[in-house]
Amino acid sequence: MADLSDWFLNVDERGNPSSQLPAFCDGNLVEPLIHGATYFAALATEVEALGPGDHVFFTDWRGDPDQKMRDDGPTVRELFAQAAERGVVVKGLVWRSHLDQFSYSEKENQHLGEAIERAGGEVLLDQRVRIGGSHHQKFVVIRHPGAPERDVAFAGGIDLCHSRRDDASHRGDRQAVQMSKRYGDHPPWHDAQLRLQGPVVGVLDTTFRERWNDPAPLDTLNPVAWVVDRLRGADLTADPLPEQPPDPPSCGPHAVQVLRTYPDAHFTYDFAPHGERSVARGYTKALQRARRLIYLEDQYLWSKQVADLFAKALADNPDLHLIAVIPRYPDVDGRLALPPNQVGRGQAIEACEAAGPGRVHVFDVENHEGTPVYVHAKVCVVDDVWACVGSDNFNRRSWTHDSELSCAVLDDTRDERLPRDPAGLGDGARVFARDLRLRLMREHLDRADDDGQGLVDPTDVVHEMVSAAKALDDWYAGGQVGPRPPGRLRPHRTEQLGRFTRLWAVPVYRMMYDPDGRSYRARLRGEW
C-alpha cells in the first residue's frame, strides 16, 4: 500500500472533510472503453439486463433523447424509459444548461427528463452551480441489490448525446452536433470512458447520492429558470432514493481514486461546503513523480496555472518528455467566439516549451480522409504507472469552477516489458497504465493491436510519434504524391493572434471561458 500513498491523495489531502468518500479503494476491475460507440453499446447491454428493484443512476452534461445507442437502437430515451417501465429505479441528474440560443442544450436536457419521468423514472435538471458554470460530470451507476457481484459503473468524458457515437474509423456520428465547419457535417470524435467493477461502484453511488440529496434549490440563483420551471410544472424536488446497497465485493487488481471538482460557490453544498478540488490536487501529486513521460489527451489544454504544473515537472526533470494530443481547431467558428478559445492554449504550450525545450510534443489527429478529429478525451498517463480518465479538461474551469469527476487508476500488476521501471523510482510500470497508453498510440499511428515496436520505452516513443507526424506532414507538403503514410497524427501549430485581437480576447478568455471557482482567499494563497 505504500506505493499507493505515494501517488494517491490521502484523506486530508483531498481537502473536503465533509464528504463521505474514502481516499481510495482497491480490489477493482477497470476496463478502458475507447470511443463512444464502444461505450454506448456496453452501457445499453448493462441497462437492458436490469430488472425490477435494480438501480440505474446517471449524471450528464447534455442528453439527447433520440441519440441511438447502437445502429438499431435503442435511443437514450428508450433505454432508460423502458428500464423504468420494467420496475428499475431510474434516477438522473442533468445540467439544466444555458439557453439553446447560445448553442447549448436546454431543451434537449429538459425533453430527456420528461420522457423518462413519464415512464416512472425521475430526472432532475440541476442548476446548483457557480454563476456561469455547469455540471460536467458524466457517469452511470448500476446496482443489483440481490447480486452485488454484477454491479458496474461507467465514468469518463462521454455524454449521452449527439456526435459521441463514433468509432476507430473516425468518420463521425450520423446524429451530429454542428461544430466548426472545418470538422464537416459529421465531426469525427475521439473520446474515452471507463467501465468499473468492485468497491469503487459504491463510491460512485455515494457521489451520486451526495448531489441528489443536497438540500440547495435546483435552480439556485436563476430567477428566470425558477419562473419557467414553475410555469411548465417541472419536478423541482428530489424523491427519496432507495437504501444504498453494501459495496460490491473485490474483483480485480486495480486501486481507484475518485477525483472531483466542486466550486466554492455562492451557495453551500452540504457535502462540499468550501468546494472540492481533488482533481487539481490529484494531478498535482501525480505530476510531482513524473520523470520520463507524461502522455495526455485533452479537449483544451488551457490555463497558465495548469500548464505551470507540467512546466515545473519538465524543468525539474531533464529526461522528462510531454506528449499531448489535442484538437486541431476549437469546436467553434466566428470572429468573436474563436479567439478566446485560442488564447489559453497558446499560453499553456508556450509555458511548457519554455520549461522543456525540445521535450514538448503536441499533435492533433485526422482521419484517413484528412478530416480533423475532435479530441474530446480527458486522459493522462504518467510514467506508465498512474493513469486517469474523466470529465475534467486541463484548464482552470475544470479544476475549480464546474462539477467534474475523474478516476485515477493504479494497477497492482507490474508490467514485465522493458523498461520495467521507466521512472527509476521503484514503482515499476503497471499493466493498466501502459496498456492504455499503447492502445491510444497504436490507434493514432495505425498500428496493429499487438504492435508495440518502439512504443514501450519513453525515448523510442517520442521518436516514433514525431517521425510519423513528420512523414504525414511531408506527404501533404509534397503534394500528396504516392501512398499516404501510416498514422493520423500531425504536428500541432498554434495560431498566433494579432495584438489588437489579444487586447480583447485575453480578458474574455479569463473571465468567461476559463473562470476561477476558488474563493478569493484560496486564489491569493495560490492553492487548489
The per-residue pLDDT for range 284-304, each reduced to its tens digit, is 999 999 999 999 999 999 888
Question: What is the four-CA torsion angle of 80, 81, 86, 92, rounded to 10 degrees?
Answer: 50
How much is the pLDDT for 367? 98
- CA dist., res. 351 & res. 345, Å (int): 10
**Residue 259: what pLDDT?**
98
- Which pLDDT value is given to residue 226? 65
- The two beta strands, 189-190 and 293-297, are unpaired
Average pLDDT over residues 148-153: 98
Question: Phi first, then psi: what are they for 390, rounded to 5°?
Answer: -170, -155
Query: Which of 79, 89, 78, 7 has its CA nearest to residue 54?
Result: 89
Window from 65-79, 215-229, 362-376 with minimum mean pLDDT: 215-229
Which pLDDT tens digit goes with each residue over 382-425? 999 999 999 999 999 999 999 999 999 999 999 999 999 999 99
Does pLDDT of 2 surpass 80? Answer: no
Cβ neighbour number for residue 242 with a 10 Å cutoff: 12
Closest to 393 (Cα-Cα) out of 335, 331, 435 = 331
Write out the H or E segment, with its range, that includes residue 476: helix 458-477
Element (H, E) at 255: strand 254-262
Find which of 109-123, 457-471, 488-502 is predicted with most confidence, using mean pLDDT.
457-471
| Distance from C-alpha of 357 to C-alpha of 361, rounded to nearest angstrom | 10
Asked if pLDDT for residue 144 goes beyond 90, the answer is yes
Q: What is the mean pLDDT of residues 28-44?
A: 98
Buried b (16+ CB within 10 A) or exposed e, 100-125: eeeebbbebbbbbbbbbbebebbbbb
DSSP reduced 3-state for 240: coil
Cβ–Cβ < 8 Å for 395, 307: no
Q: What pLDDT shows up at residue 222? A: 65
Give the pLDDT confidence score for residue 101 in this predicted structure. 41
Cα–Cα distance for residue pair 154/42, rounded to 1 Å: 9
Q: Is the pLDDT of residue 98 over 50?
A: no
Q: Is it the case that residue 53 has pLDDT exceeding 70? A: yes
Burial of 231 (0-12, 13-18, 19+ CB in 10 A): exposed
pLDDT at 36: 98
Q: What is the pLDDT of residue 107?
A: 62
Residue 1 has pLDDT above 50, yes or no: no
Arithmetic mean of pLDDT, 480-495: 96
Contacts of 469 (CB under 8 A, 6+ apart): 363, 487, 489, 490, 491
Question: CATH topology for 26-252?
Answer: Endonuclease; Chain A (3.30.870)
Backbone dihedral region of 457: left (phi > 0), alpha (psi from -120 to 50 degrees) or beta? beta
State how far the alpha carbon of 434 is from the alpha carbons of 218, 437, 525, in Å.
42, 5, 36
Q: What is the mean pLDDT of the chain?
A: 93
Please provide residue 96's backbone torsions phi and psi, each rounded to the nearest 5 degrees.
-65, -30
Reduced 3-state DSSP string for 308-357: HHHHHHHHHCCCCEEEEECCCCCCCCCCCCHHHHHHHHHHHHHHHHHHCC
Cα separation of 262 and 214, whole Å?
A: 13
Residue type, 347: Q
Q: For residue 441, how far is the Cα from the chain centroid?
A: 18
- Backbone torsion region of residue 237, taken as left when φ is above 0, otherwise alpha when ψ lies between -120 and 50, otherwise beta: beta
At 304 the pLDDT is 87
Q: Are 50 and 88 in contact (CB under 8 A)?
A: yes
Structure confidence at residue 104 (pLDDT): 47
Res 264 pLDDT > 90:
yes
Alpha carbons 430 and 500: distance in angstroms, whole number: 49
d(CA 167, CA 185): 16
- Distance, in Å, from the CA atom of 57 to the CA atom of 472, rounded to the nearest integer, reads 44
Residue 295 DSSP SS3? strand
**Which pLDDT band, with edges at 50, 70 and 90, does 100 fall under?**
very low
What is each CA distance from 499 to 168, 502, 514, in whole angstroms?
40, 5, 20
Q: Are 45 and 69 in contact (CB under 8 A)?
A: no
Q: How would residue 102 be classed by pLDDT, with cut points 50, 70 and 90? A: very low
Instruction: Please provide residue 27's backbone torsions phi and psi, each rounded to the nearest 5 degrees.
Output: 80, 25
Question: What are the residue ranges of CATH 3.30.870.10 in the chain?
Answer: 26-252, 276-513
Mean pLDDT of 301-329: 96
Question: Do residues 272 and 15 lie in contact, with contact meaning Cβ atoms separated by under 8 Å?
Answer: no
Give me the numbers of helices (H) and strands (E) for the chain, helices first please.
15, 18
What's the pLDDT at 223?
A: 67
Residue 334 CA to residue 182 CA, distance in Å, equals 12
Confidence of residue 110 (pLDDT cuts 50, 70, 90): confident
Average pLDDT estimate for 251-272: 95
Band the pLDDT of 340: cuts 50, 70, 90: confident
- Output the nine-digit C-alpha cell for 100: 439553446
User: Is the whole model's pTM more than 0.85, yes or no?
Assistant: yes
Say which CATH superfamily domain 276-513 falls into: Endonuclease Chain A (3.30.870.10)
In the Cβ-directed half-sphere of 315, how many Cα atoms lie within 13 Å? Answer: 11
CB 38 within 8 A of CB 167: yes
- Per cent of the chain over pLDDT 70 is 95
Residue 103 or 68, more confident: 68
* pLDDT, tens digit (0-9, with 9 covering 90-100), for 176-202: 999 999 999 999 999 999 999 999 999
